[in-house]
Amino acid sequence: MAAYTVREMRETDLGRLLEIEELCFPTPWTENMFRSQMRLADISINLVVVDGGMVIGYLAGWIGYYELHILSIAVIPRRQGRGAADELLTAVIEQCDRIGIKKIVLEVRAGNIRAQRFYQRNGFRHIGRREKYYRENGEDALVLELDLE
């Protein structure tokens, strides 16, 4: 497995983050969405994973009521399956432990079996379903939770 670095997201990462979005999602985040997320630093966690000086993935989430809601996690397709997402998840769990977060919640596409397996392997459990959650195609989302207590 490669040796990755995980650090806080920076404005200088924006160009690369937008590239990652285009590669990974049918409805990518915009520059303004990333800027807004970074401005909410007191109620958010925004990390990037770096390999060889290049940002290859990120995780963004909101904090509320002792819970982190992961809004988005992505790794460029050609680097998926090599531990970068695991590094992001490990780093976010460590950060959650430090600040007293008790659980992590997220939505994942019902059709994204690979992501579902990743989350299950990392201890997440299915707690619900949001029908027609993804507006570009009406796909359902599964709601997953990781209890940190």
Give the domain CATH number at 41: 3.40.630.30
Across residues 76-88, what is the average pLDDT?
95
- pLDDT over 70, % of the chain: 99
- Label residue 3 by pLDDT band (50, 70, 90): confident
Average pLDDT over residues 47-71: 97
**Residue 1 pLDDT class (50, 70, 90 cuts):** low
Q: 């109620």: which residue's tokens? A: 43
For the chain, the average pLDDT equals 96
Q: Estimate the crossing angle of helix 14-24 against helix 31-39, to 10 degrees.
A: 120
For the chain, the first-to-last Cα distance in angstroms comes to: 29
Q: What is the pTM of this model?
A: 0.93
| Cβ-based burial of 49 (10 A; exposed 0-12, middle 13-18, buried ≥19) | buried
pLDDT at residue 50 in the model: 98
Residues 6+ apart with CB under 8 A from 45: 59, 60, 61, 63, 68, 92, 95, 96
Alpha-carbon distance 88 to 85, whole Å? 5
Q: Given this model, what pLDDT does residue 92 score? A: 97
Domain count along the chain: 1
Comparing 123 with 135, which gets the higher pLDDT?
123
Q: How confident is the model at residue 135 (pLDDT cuts 50, 70, 90)?
A: confident
Answer whether 28's CB lies under 8 Å from 136's CB: no
Confidence of residue 2 (pLDDT cuts 50, 70, 90): low
- What range does the domain containing 27 cover? 5-147
Given a cut of 80, is residue 75 above it in pLDDT?
yes
